[in-house]
Chains A and B, each alone.
Chain A
């Protein structure tokens, strides 16, 4: 038995209320519950009873969200070690650039700032690509509750 739009919205609202705030994980959990519900409704035609049964067998959604965060961020920790030196490089780059432009000594090294710019830019772009583009984990998008959904009253 296929669920209707209203029932799906009600499930979505409930799983959000129970702590699934990542939109990516929410899509997974919503589809999973809907699949379980479609099976359960064959045995228990009443939506509310079926939903309570399914939710009971699923366990804590907050724990699921917590475990997912832990799993995802354990891979992000390594990135932090790369990001910090990268940010330091950017700071040094601009610091050196400023010195070269501002100090009178620049007069004797007239094109040094241009050389720094030419030499540094490809490195910065390369660093950006490696660090920020390699892991395309758009699923980390945390959508604030009020923006993503208007709560649907749970009516079964």
Chain B
């Protein structure tokens, strides 16, 4: 479940994996909590990803072979970092292009003007 005060959850469905992949391509490796905080900061709190949607997506991406994990011992617990595989890097580019095309088409279809 996403928590997004201004945007409909329906609009965000299907974009979570693209968001995660893009974040990882920009930051190298990240852990779950860091990803949620990063999304919150980048969107100024407009979009908050809950654990209930983040971890299934992350594990799904691992199963698809797009992400790798790296466990690091942090004091008394283990922290799992996620990073892109080679396949993941090319998939990120593909998904970003796909999303960009989608936005362009929707703009034309709905006759929207970009705000700001």
Q: How far is the CA of A59 from the CA of B53 in the complex (A)?
A: 11
| B4 smallest CB distance to A (angstroms) | 16
Chain A, 28-61, contact with B by CB distance < 8 Å: what is the 0/1 string?
1111101110000000000000000000001110
Which B residues lie within 8 Å of A34 (CB)?
77
Do A139 and B59 have beta carbons less than 8 Å apart?
yes
CB-CB contacts below 8 Å: A52-88 with B = 58-60, 63-64, 67-68, 70-72, 74-76
Known contacts A27-B71, A31-B74, A31-B77; decide if A71 and B51 are in contact (CB<8 Å): no
Q: How far is the CA of A135 from the CA of B75 in the complex (A)?
A: 30
Do A5 and B76 have beta carbons less than 8 Å apart?
yes
Of A30, A67, A72, which one neighbours B52 at CB under 8 angstroms? A67
Instruction: Tell me, yes or no, whether A150 is within 8 Å of chain B by CB.
Output: no
Instruction: Tell me, yes or no, whether B62 is within 8 Å of chain A by CB.
Output: yes
Do A31 and B56 have beta carbons less than 8 Å apart?
no
Which of the listed residues B1, B53, B71, B75 has the most CB atoms from chain A within 10 Å of its own CB?
B75
CB-CB contacts below 8 Å: A134-151 with B = 134-135, 137, 139
Which of the listed residues A8, A34, A70, A71 has the most CB atoms from chain B within 10 Å of its own CB?
A71
Which B residues lie within 8 Å of A27 (CB)?
71, 78-80
Do A28 and B32 have beta carbons less than 8 Å apart?
yes
Interface of A, helix, strand, loop or mixed by DSSP: helix
Of A8, A64, A135, which one neighbours B56 at CB under 8 angstroms? A64
The count of chain A contact residues (Cβ–Cβ below 8 Å) is: 33
Known contacts A30-B77, A31-B33; decide if A134 and B65 are in contact (CB<8 Å): yes
| A140 smallest CB distance to B (angstroms) | 8
Nearest A residue (CB) for B31: A31
Nearest B residue (CB) for A79: B63
Known contacts A27-B71, A31-B33; decide if A137 and B63 are in contact (CB<8 Å): yes
19 pairs, A vs B, C-beta closer than 8 Å: A3-B76, A4-B76, A25-B55, A27-B80, A28-B80, A29-B55, A31-B32, A31-B74, A31-B77, A32-B32, A59-B51, A64-B52, A64-B56, A67-B56, A72-B59, A72-B60, A134-B65, A137-B62, A137-B63
The 3 nearest A-B residue pairs measured at CB: A71-B60, A35-B33, A71-B56
